[in-house]
Chains A and B, each alone.
Chain A
Amino acid sequence: MQKDLETKFLSDFEQNQNIAHKICRLYTTNQDAHNDLFQEITIQLWKNYPKFRGDSKFSTWMYRVALNTAISLYRKSTRQVKTQDISEVEFRISSFDYDDTEEKQLNELYKAVHKLNDIEKALIFLYLEDKPYKEISETLGISSVNARVKMNRAKEKLKNILNP
């Protein structure tokens, strides 16, 4: 039983690992911190996997656990240097077959999101991932209406950073 659970977890996680990577990129600014957070997310996912009953999709559940880990249970991020290491982010996401303007925009976006606080980051991330308000409010534990209001504020803030 334990073995089955483990195999299932490993394959589910492997397929959805991009979610965790994206969160790590939003919440950290260098590769070491990225790896640390990724590992912490992995630990938390595995620790909580027995409680995952499959009443939602694995990815939905993963968004919640990974975001909560990034928001609250992560110790090392306090050591993070405030100044942003741009070249490293660029290095982390650059790719040959990728549109040049979009690459630039993506870098700007990451840079801007790094300036938001942890909760705003979560809101913006869920927006970028096209999550419905229902899911956003469940993930954060606030009402739909409230999620909508706060989302608009977070978006405004982001726009101001992107286009001052």
Chain B
Amino acid sequence: MDLLEKYKKAWDNQPEEKNKVSSIDIYKMAHSKSSSIVKWIFIVGVLELLFWSGINFFVPDSIYVIYEDLNLMSLLNVFLILHYVIILAFLFLFYKNYKKISIIDNTKKLIINILGIRKTVKYYVFYNLATFFLISVVFNSIIFSDENKLMKIMNPKNLSMDMSQFITITLISQIIALIIILTLLWLFYKLVYGILLKKLNRNYKELKKIDDLN
């Protein structure tokens, strides 16, 4: 007899679950909240939005004075509004994913949907990093294009120093700061969404192996 047949007999004869659930319990469970991964991606997205917009309230006004001095306030506002519109669009996509993911589909379809979700999250993270990078580059090039502005911001006490040396030092420190912040942001996203997507990724890879999806 096949080895598995022996075990299969044991499987067939296994006792029914002792802790049977009553229909009242089922009713209660059915009406409680789901903890699915896709839902958490949506929730984390909302929390993140609240977090970053919350931080804006704690930014000291003096920062904005600098931007006003540079006549960059309107540009900054345009950026911010555009940014929030795009973030809201992403949140809408996360929400739609959460609604769309219907597990009555077969496993393969489900996994394809998950692949879509993964892509959305990837674009979301990429968008956030790219925006930060772009804004930094734009603002810095505006500041660096004008020596007076640069001096005003970076050397408010008006210490006398060599201009070209000063520009080089400021530029290098700005680039280093940008790299550090981008790395931290990237790690933050990697951590938050990476944890959420880990199991989904593993199962996707497995199913892809089983049935070449492409």
Q: What is the chain A residue whose CB lies nearest that of B35? A: A75
A71 touches B211 (CB 8 A): no
A141 touches B106 (CB 8 A): yes
Given A14-B23, A141-B108, also A69-B103 (CB < 8 A): yes
Instruction: Determine the distance from Cα of A105 to Cα of B7 in the docked complex, in whole angstroms.
Output: 6
Count A-B pairs with CB separation below 8 Å: 171
A14 touches B22 (CB 8 A): yes
Docked complex: B184-211 residues within 8 A CB-CB of A: 195-196, 198-200, 202-203, 206-207, 210-211
A131 contacts the other chain (CB 8 A): no
Question: How big is the B interface, by class?
Answer: 35 or more
B157 contacts the other chain (CB 8 A): no
Docked complex: B34-82 residues within 8 A CB-CB of A: 34-38, 40
Instruction: Determine the distance from Cα of A141 to Cα of B40 in the docked complex, in whole angstroms.
Output: 26
A72 touches B110 (CB 8 A): yes
Kindly provide the distance from the CB of B103 to the nearest chain A CB, expressed in whole angstroms: 4
B14 touches A64 (CB 8 A): no
A118 touches B106 (CB 8 A): no
Q: Encode B98-116 as 1/0 by CB contact (under 8 A) with A.
A: 0001111111111100100
A163 contacts the other chain (CB 8 A): yes
Query: Inside 8 A of B22's CB, which chain A residues have their CB?
Result: 14
Q: What is the chain B residue whose CB lies nearest that of A46? A: B30
A141 touches B4 (CB 8 A): no
Query: Inside 8 A of A140's CB, which chain B residues have their CB?
Result: 106-108, 207, 210-211
B36 touches A122 (CB 8 A): no
A142 contacts the other chain (CB 8 A): yes
A73 touches B37 (CB 8 A): yes
Docked complex: A40-63 residues within 8 A CB-CB of B: 40, 42-48, 51-52, 61
B17 contacts the other chain (CB 8 A): yes
Q: What is the chain A residue whose CB lies nearest that of B195? A: A78
Instruction: Determine the distance from Cα of A39 to Cα of B32 in the docked complex, in whole angstroms.
Output: 8
A95 contacts the other chain (CB 8 A): yes
Question: How big is the A interface, by class?
Answer: 35 or more
Instruction: Determine the distance from Cα of A74 to Cα of B196 in the docked complex, in whole angstroms.
Output: 10
* Contact among B32, B106, B207 with A64 in the assembled complex (CB-CB below 8 Å): B106
Q: What is the chain A residue whose CB lies nearest that of B23? A: A10
Query: Inside 8 A of A42's CB, which chain B residues have their CB?
Result: 26, 29-30
B13 touches A76 (CB 8 A): no
A159 contacts the other chain (CB 8 A): yes
Q: Which 4 A-B pairs have the closest CB atoms?
A: A141-B108, A141-B106, A46-B30, A105-B10
Residue positions of B touching A, CB distance < 8 A: 3-4, 6-18, 20-23, 26-27, 29-38, 40, 101-111, 114, 195-196, 198-200, 202-203, 206-207, 210-211
Residue positions of A touching B, CB distance < 8 A: 6, 9-11, 13-14, 17-18, 21-22, 36, 38-40, 42-48, 51-52, 61, 64-65, 67-69, 71-78, 92-93, 95, 97-99, 102-103, 105-106, 108-109, 117-120, 122, 127-128, 138-143, 146, 150, 155, 158-159, 162-163
- Chosen A-B contacts, 9 in total, with CB atoms closer than 8 Å, are A13-B26, A17-B20, A46-B31, A52-B104, A72-B103, A73-B36, A74-B36, A119-B107, A141-B211
